[in-house]
């Protein structure tokens, strides 16, 4: 079945220390963007302070891996971390602060489960179409929110799947950004040869496997195919793989999920296996 869902937009790795994690990714052969973090004056007249989640990206041509950590006034960030001032009209400030605090609470809850992968966002050709389809399928969602980064031509539509139980973390769909310049669209050449984010792997309780398959079928608007012990949702040159916990060792020898459910891995395509 063809619908508006395309490929994996990004996955998110939630960590305590973003600088240590950057070094780990470097040792794995990935290049990352410099960390960025928001600052905000939480009350009129007060100085702006770090507030929210710092993040950096492992960027590919069409998607990325987000590395995220909560920031506070006491946070230790790399010297090249960039503050991004949030400018909010005074009347809207209480609502914005409440929204950010809710996001921080969700991220903190993810970290309390374990440090690792907690975010999966799918690319959509049309966020409004995704929201309408979610309504038809009974998927609880946020509605379409539009955000714009400095290098984007137009705001990007995002729909959070946040009005139903999603124990594995944050799920959303997002439009691909339309960037201002061709240079902004160019991805770095990673030393390990990685070129694309092509799979997200979710480990689930055996007894709930069919329920997870049914839930992701509603999100993605397509059926899963059986691949050995796993269930695979095929997207555009990418996929989501659901793995029953008792079979994880067959797919990833020696791996044990920290808790269930858990995003246990993602896969990238590479230029060649000899890189």
**Statement: residue 239 has pLDDT above 90:** yes
Fold: same for 5-185 and 194-270 = yes
Averaged over 17-21, what is the pLDDT? Answer: 90
Multiple choice CATH, 194-270, 3.10.180.10, 3.40.50.880, 3.40.1260.10, 3.40.50.620: 3.10.180.10
**Statement: residue 126 has pLDDT above 80:** yes
Domain residues of the chain, as ranges?
5-185, 194-270
**Statement: residue 83 has pLDDT above 70:** yes
Per-residue pLDDT reduced to its tens digit, 22-63: 999 999 999 999 999 888 887 777 788 887 788 999 999 999
pLDDT for the residue 149: 62
| One-character DSSP codes across 52-119 | EEEEEEEE-SS-EEEEEEEE-TT----TT-EEEEPP--GGGHHHHHHHHHHHHHHHHHHHHH-SEEEE
Q: Which of 10-19, 56-65, 77-86, 253-262 has the lowest mean pLDDT?
A: 77-86
**pLDDT tier at 107, thresholds 50, 70, 90:** confident
Q: Across all residues in the chain, what is the average pLDDT?
A: 88
Phi and psi angles of residue 208, each rounded to the nearest 5 degrees, phi first: -110, 10
**Statement: residue 181 has pLDDT above 90:** no
**Statement: residue 115 has pLDDT above 90:** yes
Q: Which of 101-105, 126-130, 191-195, 254-258 has the lowest mean pLDDT?
A: 101-105
CB-based contacts of 82, cutoff 8 Å, min separation 6 = 34, 35, 36, 37
Averaged over 230-241, what is the pLDDT? Answer: 98
Q: Can you tell me the distance from the alpha carbon of 127 to that of 33, in angstroms, rounded to the nearest whole number? A: 27
**Statement: residue 275 has pLDDT above 70:** no
CB atoms within 10 A of CB 250: 12
Per-residue pLDDT reduced to its tens digit, 200-220: 999 999 999 999 999 999 999
pLDDT for the residue 273: 82
Averaged over 255-268, what is the pLDDT? Answer: 97
Superfamily of domain 5-185: 2,3-Dihydroxybiphenyl 1,2-Dioxygenase, domain 1 (3.10.180.10)
Q: Are 66 and 14 in contact (CB under 8 A)?
A: no
């Amino acid at each position: 079945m063809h619908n508006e869902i395309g490929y994996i937009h990004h996955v998110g790795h939630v960590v305590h220390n973003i600088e240590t994690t950057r070094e780990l990714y470097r040792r794995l052969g990935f290049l990352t963007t410099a960390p960025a973090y928001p600052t905000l004056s939480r009350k009129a007249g007060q100085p702006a302070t770090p507030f929210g989640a710092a993040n950096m990206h492992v960027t590919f041509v069409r998607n990325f891996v987000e590395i995220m950590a909560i920031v506070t006034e006491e946070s230790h960030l790399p010297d090249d971390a960039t503050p991004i001032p949030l400018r909010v009209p005074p009347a809207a400030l209480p609502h914005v602060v409440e929204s950010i605090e809710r996001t921080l609470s969700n991220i903190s809850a993810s970290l309390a489960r374990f440090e690792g992968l907690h975010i999966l966002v799918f690319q959509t050709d049309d966020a409004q179409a995704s929201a309408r389809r979610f309504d038809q399928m009974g998927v609880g969602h946020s509605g379409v929110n539009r955000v714009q980064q400095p290098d984007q031509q137009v705001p990007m539509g995002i729909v959070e799947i946040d009005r139903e139980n999603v124990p594995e973390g944050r799920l959303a769909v997002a439009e691909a950004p339309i960037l201002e310049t061709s240079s902004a669209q160019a991805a770095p050449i990673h030393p390990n040869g990685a070129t694309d984010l092509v799979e997200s792997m979710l480990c689930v309780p055996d007894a709930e496997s069919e329920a997870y398959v049914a839930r992701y079928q509603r999100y993605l608007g397509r059926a899963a195919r059986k691949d050995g012990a796993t269930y695979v949702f095929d997207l555009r040159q990418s996929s989501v793989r659901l793995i029953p916990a008792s079979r994880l060792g067959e797919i990833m020898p020696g791996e044990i999920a920290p808790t269930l459910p858990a995003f246990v891995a993602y896969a990238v395509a590479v230029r060649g296996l000899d890189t």
